[in-house]
Amino acid sequence: MHPLLQQEELVAYADEHDLTLVAYSPLAQGAVFDLPELREVAEKHTVSPAQVCLAWLSTKGVVPIPKASSEAHVRDNFAATDLELDDEDVARIDAIDREKRLEDEEFVDW
């Protein structure tokens, strides 16, 4: 799950059944860094697009587990826990109307 694959029905189902979703590859293998919506929200809060993405997932009750290739990235990802997005920020990201699945559906049992 990430802003390019929001899975609203799955989030609603999990919420209804008191389940916790885990977002693997929550940064869409870096694709979220190019989203103007995330970049603008990041500029507004003077944080990184990664932090915005991770904070947005948290507003959905989703637990993101991002990959980090350096200590700086680990620190940046962790700092997302302090970021509070307002309703306008969340709505802006929610409005992203694209669907990009990163895994090859042929090899993954959905």
More confident residue, 84 or 29: 84
Instruction: Write phi, then psi, for 26 (nearest 5 degrees).
Output: -70, -10
- Which pLDDT tens digit goes with each residue over 55-107? 999 999 999 999 888 999 999 999 999 999 999 999 999 999 876 555 555 54
Over 50: is that where the pLDDT of 110 sits? no
Instruction: Write phi, then psi, for 6 (nearest 5 degrees).
Output: -80, -20
Residues forming a β-bridge with 21: 62
Tokens of 1: 């799950």
Query: What is the reported pLDDT for 88?
Result: 98
Query: What is the reported pLDDT for 71?
Result: 96
Query: Cβ-count burial of 69 within 10 angstroms (0-12 exposed, 13-18 middle, 19+ buried)?
Result: exposed
